[in-house]
A and B are shown apart, each in its own frame.
Chain A
Amino acid sequence: MKNGIGLFLFLTVFAACEKNNPVSEEKPVVSSGVFILNQGRQGENNSGISYYDFKTGTVTFDLMDGKLGDTGQDMIIYGSKLYVSVHGSSVINVIDLKTAESVKIIPVEDDEAHPRGPRYLTSYGGKVYASTYDGNVIRIDTATLAIEKTTAVGPNPEGIAAANGKLYVANTNGLDFPNFDNTLSVVDIATFTETKKITVGRNPNCVAADAYGDIYLSYKGNYADIPSGMQKIDTKTDEVTDITGISAGENFTVVDDILYYFDVVYNSDGTTSCTYGRYNVKTEQKVPGEIISDETKINTAYAIGVDPENKDVYISDMKPDKIYVFDAGGIFKETVNAGIFACKFVFYYD
């Protein structure tokens, strides 16, 4: 019997001495730096925002202390706040830039309390807009931080961009994979109703506006016989032009006059290869030279961001999770450890 008691004591001691509560770091004072949205993994409530301060050079692993929610999708700055669409939790989390505290968590639900699933964000004329995966666009008043209005677009919309008094929303019909949609919904901002659908490439995904009244769009194809591609929409005429020689199937971002894009090819042997490039939206020409000009190899690129001041390029790798920083000349500068699946970079200078 003595042995038995001994074993129990041993186990109890084990149980007692191994209590390890994660200790979150002190919140930094936000000045100039980059906010990195970590998507996290679906169902794990582990989305977060890392912050890399340019002055101190420190990285805060999660400004939100693990409370952001499940599956962060997109993040923009509007006014003095960060707006984060959190898809799994179906909320827009509005965060004060300076204090990094959540100001409001806006549930994005329909009248029967079904989650709508917010996706991508944009802002225009004092309002913030988000596409929702149930086939709508919501409008958030930035003063009251409430959803004012909802309007229907196509099925399972992803990217959203605003230009010339109109919203352009990429309809994917992704829930009916592989029967993807091939339209962009055009929503008149004044009346907040969809006015038409423009036919574009199969499975449109990422949209962004430049400074010259054009919308750039990348479509992913059907992952089989229909390839990915890139198009431009003139917002005056809503005319669609194909841009060839650019492989932006995965994602892109427009900073000043340069469109930075990348694509990932999934090879049949299970490996991946990534390609990157730049396109000048003013001259409408490919920019010579490479985003990565040295030997640095990224396994599976997931997101791209560009520092508007010094034009440093940030590329996240998801296999494994790591962020690579390159200078404007394409030379590797450093890596930043953020959270899981870094999916958006937002730069801020005060």
Chain B
Amino acid sequence: MKALRFGRNAAIAVISAGALALTACGSDNATGTAPATPAASGAQVSGTLTGIGSSAQGAAMDVWKTNFASANQGATVQYSPDGSGAGRKALLDGSAQFGGSDAYLKDDEYASSTTQCGPDGALNIPVYISPIAVAFNLPEIKELNLDAVTVAKIFRGEIATWNDPAIAAQNPDATLPDLKVTPVNRSDDSGTTSNFTDYLAAAAPEAWTDKPAGVWPATLQGENAKGTSGVVKTVTDTPGAVTYADDSAVSGKLGVALIKVGESYTKISAEAAAKAVDAGKPVEGRNANDLSIKLDRATTIEGAYPIVLVSFHIVCSTYADQKTVDLVKAFEAYVVSDAGQTAAADAAKSAPLSKDLQDKTLKSIESIKVKS
């Protein structure tokens, strides 16, 4: 009996290790993409760069590191998607040379970054932009106009059926079914949830009373599922269900909401997301080259789509030796370059950085230097 129990546990261990290996391979679909252009500086770099951070960047990081390694013989990038918090912590305690994070460094974290990174502290560089769609499963309906308050009420369970007057008033042309609204949220802690609730809290503060967080508020009744694929699958199977997920995962399969910004309704797109990011304000109290962006979720700019996830690479403004500086600069320059952004858009369906933001990031990367 004991032997059997041991065997079972061992089997489970082997299986879960196998599953991990499989999932790790699953997102690595970069083998077909063309090798990157060599680093911006032109010279080949070598060495190993270690990063820890956001799992949202995982798929994009896989192609970035593969392409970077094939363009620079002898250079490797290791990235461990342990989570945004782990990434920021690793950069601050020096166990990684860069961190990936769905949020820029908090003020106290920025202040403590001077220990590892020198007097100018760390640099937050936006590298990965992903618009988040509000997606629903309604027969015959592919688009709906919704404002922030309605979205908040739908996800709080305060709107019971799809033909509710609040929805009907914004969609006079649609024939809305008398179908139960089933909101589906992410059951795991995720950057998508964090950005979505941040949007609701900022754009509809009167309806959304919870604080923005990566974990869905436990007090809300609703369905949930694990991961982007889980929520999309659940909504696809359930008429009347609605969720929020990366645009790339829902396009074509489900109906998508147009979000009210200013006086009109904005359709989700890479351009609209980039526009919202460009409208964000730099965070005060950072060094001149830092690109922390405080998104204005309640923006009224026409054509901007404010439900967007911006993920950063957090690097030091100074490193101890020239070799590391060259390596970081070359890698980050590739990541924000057209080639890098296109590769990420192909592999992870992210929205490429706007030209303006790209120039700013390149300037910021160029400022990285050796510790004096």
A, B: real partners: no
Residues of B bordering A, CB below 8 Å: none
